Amino acid sequence: MCSPSSGTNKIWKETEKEALMFNKKSCSNSEWLMMGLNSGLGALGISSGYKNLYKQVLKNYNKGFKNVVLDNDLFNKVHAAPINKTRKQIINYKSLNTFINPAFPILITYGENDIYGSSKENTYLRFPSAEYEVVTHSGHIPWIHNHKLFRSILIGFYSHYC
């Protein structure tokens, strides 16, 4: 798993709060204001609100990393209705189970400067036998921010277990 959110219900709310704070500190005041407006439009079912919101989110996630190009076609697949339904279900869903002895190896990576903070502890608790790697010089999108190291981590993991 790469930079996974930490769970459902109360844990999801904690994870959302961390992502929100990350975005707030990554924006100018006007960008932050527009994020709030676009989030509200999306919550009202207006897809263009979420499209604009996620464009800013990805800009924030990539700030400080070189050679990152945003593909605007990606945002054509953003639609308000499924986002709103999914978020509601995640918040209302029971807490996720712990994987004590999975029948398969698990690797979980986070970027050194990932959007998630202490909520990651919930992931560690859910997957106590997993291998964890921090991808240095990267944020929430380590396969782009530090492709070489991320690839090396994956190759090492799969060559060990396959």
With H, G, I as helix, E, B as strand and everything else as coil, classify residue 4.
coil
Q: Tell me how far the alpha carbon of residue 112 is from its chain's centroid.
A: 13
- pTM of the complete model: 0.90
Q: What is the pLDDT of residues 82-102, one digit of tens each?
A: 999 999 999 999 999 999 989
Each domain of the chain, given as residue ranges in start order, spans: 9-92, 107-161
Mind listing the pLDDT tens digit for each residue in 51-74?
999 999 999 999 999 878 888 899
